[in-house]
Structure 1
Amino acid sequence: MKKIVLATMAIVGLLITSTKAQTGHVEATKTPPQVIFTKLLNTPSLKNQEFKMVLVTFQPGEIGAPHRHPIPTFAYVIEGEFESTFNGKTHHYKAGDAFYEEPNLVHGQTKTLGDKPVKLLAIFIGDKGKPFIEPAK
């Protein structure tokens, strides 16, 4: 249970880190992701792993750019509703939903539904300094 909580907190921390600072210049949303927490984990089972909590905001009508996450991603929808095409399959999420994404699979498109912003709390855990988002190739 502790490992799941730590991993979840790590992923959220990674999402909050500025994508520009982490990857050079990746913008998957109009509003840059905001890292709200980062913690380097050095426990017997998690050596030199960085945990990041990231607040991701999509504006109404926004369609996110294709991208991938090179490390495991956990997310919780705080508010709003959206569709996300992940590895060729479209998923529908709304406030209160949580989900997990395997590393390195492509987000083809993410689009908001309705007239309210979408806010996600994303959690990443991975090797220290490894980016949490990259452009899709």
Structure 2
Amino acid sequence: MRARFWVGGGLLAAALGLLIVNGLRSASQYYLTVSELKARAASLQGRPIRLSGIVDGGTIRYDPETLHIEFGLVDRVADIGKVPPLKVVYQGVKPDLLQNEAQAIVEGTLGPDGVFYARTLLLKCPTRYEEEAATGSSR
């Protein structure tokens, strides 16, 4: 009777551990940089990707009638105007934070045309937060 208890408990603990490991593995997805994506473009086409980069403000195009947004991403602020940006296409309302030098995280797929088709778009404008922190003001 006691052996059954230990065997059953061990099997239950192993199954629970396996579920936790598989859940964490499928939920954890790291970010690729623009240069990493460009280097591995052929092998990543059509696969779900999470990409992080800096918005090149000179490339932002928005059509408010169709809600079509296009913009370019580079790895660093210093790359703007010096390195060809990766073209990103997103369908949706233009976020207020979509501006030059904003940090963007996009999730989507890389098309065979070399364009990144984003399903989700998250933006952070570091200069706004740095200025507020420096002055000590908060809204």
TM-score normalised by length of structure 2: 0.26
Higher RCO (CA 8 Å, separation ≥ 6 residues): 1
TM-score normalised by length of structure 1: 0.26
Could you say which structure has the larger radius of gyration? 2
More helix per residue: 1 or 2? Answer: 2
